[in-house]
Structure 1
C-alpha cells in the first residue's frame, strides 16, 4: 500500500486551496496519508526560502496573481490580503495533530482552518476559532487542548522530518518511494504518479 506524507501549514493559502483533494487522491489509490503540519516560516529559514513579506516586489505581485487565478480556477473564495495573516499557526496545527492521533479524518479540518484564515477573516491562533473549526467538522472541541505537549513535540518533529525528506514549501507531498510534489498545482501530478502514468 503506497503512503504519502503531507507537509503543510495552516497559514498557507495553497494548503487551503488544496482542500480535501490530498485525501481524495490517497483514497483513490488505496494510499495512506499522514498529515504533517509545520511552521512554514521556520521551514523557509531552514531551506533557503524567504517569507512573503521579505520577497522582491516582483515575487510578491506574482504570488497574489497566482493565488487569485488558482482561487478562480478552483471556485474557492479567497481574500488575497486577509486581516489575520500572518498569525500563529501552532494552535490550529496542534488541534490537527490531536485529532489525527485520535483517529479522525482531518481533511475537512485542514480545509476549515484555511477557510477561516483566507475566506472568513478569522484568527486561527485564537482558541475560540480553533474550537469552532473542530466543532464545524464534527470533532470534539476539547481536542484543542488535548495532549498539547505531544502535539508540540510532533509539530517540531514535522519540521525536522520535512527538512530531512527534502521539503521546502507548503503544501508538499512525499511518497514512500521518495517522489516529491510541491504545491497545490502539482496534485494532478501526484495523482498521475500514483496511477503509474508518471
Structure 2
C-alpha cells in the first residue's frame, strides 16, 4: 500500500485551495494519508523562507494575484484578506492530531473545516469555542480538543522537526513514502496523481 505524508499549516490558503483533491485521488487508488500539521511560521525561517508579513512587497502582490486566480479557477470562496490571519495554528493542529490519533473519523474533512473557517467563513481557529464547533460539525467529539492536548503538543513539535529533516519548506507539501518523491503546492496535485499511477 502507498502512503503519503501530508505536511500542512491549518491557516495555509494553498492547503485550503487544495480542497479534497488529495483525498479523492488517494481513495481511488487505496493510498493512505498521514496528516502532519505544523507551525509554518517556524518552518519558513528554518528552511530559507520568510513569513508572509516579512516578504518583499513584490512577492506579496504576486501572492495576492495568485490567490485570486486560483480562487476563480477552482470556484472556491476565498477572502484574500481574512479577518483572522495569521492566528496561532497550534490549537487547531492539536485537534487534528488528536482526532487522527483516535483512529476514527474523516481527518481530511476536519482539516478542510479549519481551512474553510479561516478563508471562507471569517472565523478564528485559535479560539477554543470555534475549534469545538468545527470538531462537532465534522463528526468528532468536541472534547477531543482537551483530551488530546498533551499528545497534540508533542506530535506538533515533532512534525516540525520531521518536516525540516524531510526537506519540507511550505504548505501543502506531499511526500510519497515509497518513492521519496516530493510535491509542493496544490498546483502540483496533478503531478502527484500521475506519479501515484506509476507505483
Pairwise same-fold verdict (TM > 0.5)? yes
Alignment of 1:174-189 (within 5 A): 174-176=175-177, 177-189=179-191
Query: Structure 1 runs of 4+ off > 6 angstroms?
Result: none
RMSD: 1.1
Alignment of 1:1-198 (within 5 A): 1-103=1-103, 104-176=105-177, 177-196=179-198
Deviation track 1:1-48 (CA, whole Å, cap 9, x = no partner) reads 111000000010011111222221211221111000000011101100
**1:147, distance to aligned residue in structure 2 (A):** 2.4
Distance in 1 of aligned mates of 2:65 and 2:110: 26
What TM-score does the superposition give when structure 1 sets the normalisation length?
A: 0.97
Distance in 1 of aligned mates of 2:175 and 2:22: 11
Distance in 2 of aligned mates of 1:195 and 1:105: 24
Helix, strand or coil: the match of 1:33? strand
Number of residue pairs matched? 197
Helix, strand or coil: the match of 2:143? helix
Distance in 1 of aligned mates of 2:197 and 2:70: 24
Helix, strand or coil: the match of 1:5? strand
Aligned partners of 1:44 and 1:51 also within 8 Å: yes
Helix, strand or coil: the match of 1:93? helix
Aligned partners of 1:9 and 1:170 also within 8 Å: yes
Aligned partners of 1:19 and 1:107 also within 8 Å: no
**1:73, distance to aligned residue in structure 2 (A):** 1.1
Aligned partners of 2:15 and 2:172 also within 8 Å: yes
Distance in 2 of aligned mates of 1:81 and 1:15: 16
Aligned partners of 2:9 and 2:40 also within 8 Å: yes
Distance in 2 of aligned mates of 1:133 and 1:146: 16
Deviation track 1:79-135 (CA, whole Å, cap 9, x = no partner) reads 001111000011100000011011122111111101111111110000011011111
Aligned partners of 2:106 and 2:138 also within 8 Å: no
